[in-house]
Structure 1
Amino acid sequence: MVVDLIVIGTAITLGPLHNSAFVLLLSSRRGVHKGLAFLLSWLANLVAVVACVLLLTGGTPPVHHSSPSSAALAAKLAIGVGLVVFGGYRSRQPPRPYRPPSWAGRVDNASLGTAAGLAWLLQPWALVGAGAATVVDADLSSVYTWLDLTGYCLLATLSLLVMELYTVWAPETSRARLDALRTWLEQHQDQLIITLSLLAGLWLTASSIYHLVT
């Protein structure tokens, strides 16, 4: 479970779409406040998904090869295959010229609620779903499991947390560097999406098959 959560959390935090949007929010008026609203909403979503899974399982992992265990692995396998297919399909398409999202021009006037809602909209739901299927195996009787789940949520939020703190601690220098980061993310968006989809998808597929047959 731990390695799967590390892979999923890393793929989530490196996603270019939400990171580009977050930099755009930080560079707007009241950017630090909007960024904090986005960050907290993003983290709350991850925690809510984990909490829902734990409520369903009661914090006790299902017996290996039981129906709930096999269903969770089948869901993770389906997500992994879907990511591989998506990454393969996207890699065969001609590069898409970057177009700013329709809301980009209105970000200065966006409310904190809008910033928080944007976090939910930009969540990579396939990866979040894979994380949920992995959390089915969590055993809350172990303190290490609590640490693993906490680490997963923080890892999936790490890029946002680093940028938010950087903006707070170094407001003068952070803007130019974060704008440069956003430009790079926009220029390499397709490559990043394809790479993350293929790597995460292949890992989830291989891991799920291994646990289904052993």
Structure 2
Amino acid sequence: MGQVIGDILPIALAIAISPMPIMAVVLMLMSAHGRGASLAFLLAWILGVAMVVTIATIAISPASGDDDGPSRVASLIKVLLGVATLVLAFRQWRKRPEAGQEPARPRWMATIDSMTVGKAFVTGAVLSTVNPKNLALGLTGGVTIGAVDLGAGGAVIAIVVFVAIASCTVAAPVFAYLTAPDRVRAPLDGLRVWLEHHNAAVMAVLLLLMGVSIIGKGVAGL
């Protein structure tokens, strides 16, 4: 169990550090439906991450094959996911704005000010499941958990730990704003501006490091 937790920690942290959901939830907190929208986004984010990692865990579970099969298959999948992560890192690096250039904000972010609770939930679900970066990392986390026979209880604990870490940076602004809105408004807005300008570079470096690490672990298991 300890080894698995150690292996999934950096993967979950890579999801947690992803700037896009943090920017989205901060913008929601300052919108007309801030409280309801941000809570709906957070709930959808948690459910989405949990769904991806759980499906991958079940699919690669040692119970679905022979003693050597799942481990070898899991290692090969890790290599493929690592390569996909490196491709995403390259694409993110190319998207970074030039010096002095204002970063282009995704179109859906322009609608956050008027976003309803339902739309916020859908946005959180999409970002946590369909977004290529989070999907690749979530699948990697699930493969890492499923490759080891932890039993049902151990797998559930590992998944809960993974989801908790991956969601902490989305949950923290929400709970901070709900408890002390006036105090955290300015710091949150400053964080949003910084992330908006450095989103591509942060994700590129993060994905590069994760991709190399994932490939290394996959090759070691072949």
TM-score (norm 1): 0.87
Name the stretch that deviates more: 49-58 or 122-131: 49-58
**More helix per residue:** 2
Work out whether residues 79 and 219 of structure 2, in 8 Å CA contact, stay in contact via their aligned partners in 1: yes
Partner SS, residue 151 of structure 2: coil
Of 140, 150, 157, the match for 2:167: 157
1: distance between equivalents of 2:158 and 2:30?
A: 33
2:30 matched to which residue of 1?
Answer: 27
2:55 matched to which residue of 1?
Answer: 52
Is 1:190 the counterpart of 2:200 in the alignment? yes
Q: Relative to 1, partners in 2 of residues 1:64 and 1:211: Cα closer, same or farther, differing over 3 Å?
A: farther
Q: Relative to 1, partners in 2 of residues 1:107 and 1:40: Cα closer, same or farther, differing over 3 Å?
A: same
Of 20, 27, 47, the match for 1:17: 20
2: distance between equivalents of 1:79 and 1:26?
A: 34
2: distance between equivalents of 1:93 and 1:52?
A: 31
1: distance between equivalents of 2:104 and 2:184?
A: 24
2: distance between equivalents of 1:168 and 1:26?
A: 9
Report how far residue 70 of structure 1 moved. 2.1
Counterpart mapping for 1:80-95 below 5 A: 80-88=82-90, 90-91=92-93, 95=97
How many positions carry a matched residue from both structures? Answer: 211
> C-alpha root-mean-square deviation of aligned residues, in Å?
2.4
1: distance between equivalents of 2:115 and 2:93?
A: 34
In structure 1, the gaps of 5 or more residues are none
Is 1:110 the counterpart of 2:115 in the alignment? yes
Work out whether residues 15 and 137 of structure 2, in 8 Å CA contact, stay in contact via their aligned partners in 1: yes
Report how far residue 155 of structure 1 moved. 0.2
Work out whether residues 4 and 204 of structure 1, in 8 Å CA contact, stay in contact via their aligned partners in 2: no
2:131 matched to which residue of 1?
Answer: none
1: distance between equivalents of 2:142 and 2:23?
A: 25
Is 1:173 the counterpart of 2:183 in the alignment? yes
In structure 2, the gaps of 5 or more residues are 129-133
